Amino acid sequence: MPARVRTAVIPAAGLGTRFLPATKAQPKEMLAVLDRPAIQYVVEEAAAAGLDDVLIVTSRGKHALGDHFDRMPELEAELERKGKTDALEQVVALAELARVHTVRQAEPRGLGHAVAMAADHVGDASFAVLLPDDLMVDDAALLRGMLGAHAEHGAPVVALKEVPRADISAYGCPRIEPVEGPLVRITEVIEKPDPEDAPSSLALTGRYVLTPAVFEALARVSPGKGGEIQLTDALGLLAETGTVYGWVFREGRYDVGTPLDNLRANIELALERPELAAELGPYLADLVRRRNL
Ligand code: G1P
């Protein structure tokens, strides 16, 4: 049985061009969803799944990502002086969620290249990759399931979700064979195929449990879609020579890197908070009535 997975790698070096102008001078991962930046949900999910070591791959102008998980003595002293104990506890707990490290990707050469930046940190262990655009509202159930499958089988496990065929060209798309329950075997995977060439309507979504073999595969792949080093192409190589699993899930994912899904995530997360839901629920119901939606 492979050793317990401890590290979550969070690629966060991208420019956030789908959410301009909000992301012109601010990392997209710091955009708030309800009361916390998107990246915090991802680190909380990692911690909830037992991953206590986090490596964020950042780039120029993205200091805020590391700062958010660091202690902030001036702020803490001020909150203490003002007797704001709840806020103080929250900011201290945030710095204690996990050991958070950062590494910088010097050039935007793709997701695969960003993941390769984690090689020295990860060493010879399996690790998880969590894409911060994909916000999961599932108490880490998906990630836990994938880690369980990895512990049992020792091979990479990637998250898959059914999407409308017309949307498949925004995702990596696998050809699969059923194994058992949510577990499938990936025999081939294509990055962002045209819908008519797609081997399935399953999309790679932003959770991966990988073995260190992926670093050798990443070193072998040539630039692919968009001229970038694609993680999907490295997974394809691994699937040619060994086993790569998929884990099919249905619920709980928002692409918070796009304005509409970001808004959906805000509404649904707020409806799960009793103190907000009490007013938001009737407000939404009334809005639907008034606007004839
Ligand atoms: C990346 C991956 C793609 C995956 C997607 C999930 O694409 O390259 O295979 O399906 O994340 O969100 P991106 O959204 O960065 O273009």
Structure confidence by residue, pLDDT tens digits, 30-54: 999 999 999 999 999 999 999 999 9
When pLDDT is cut at 50, 70 and 90, the band that residue 15 belongs to is: confident
pLDDT digits (tens, 9 = 90+) for 91-131: 999 999 999 999 999 998 999 999 999 999 999 999 999 99
pTM of the full structure: 0.95
Contacts of 43 (CB under 8 A, 6+ apart): 8, 10, 54, 69, 97, 98, 100
pLDDT at 8: 98
Cα–Cα dist 204/201, whole Å: 10
Residue nearest to atom 5 of ligand 1 (CA): 171
Tell how far the Cα of 172 is from the centroid of ligand 1, in angstroms: 6
pLDDT at 288: 95
Atom number, ligand 1, closest to the C-alpha of residue 230:
8
pLDDT at 3 over 80: no
pLDDT at 18 over 90: no
pLDDT at 252: 86
Tell how far the Cα of 265 is from the centroid of ligand 1, in angstroms: 19
> Could you give all domains of the chain from N- to C-terminal order, each with its CATH number?
7-257 (3.90.550.10)
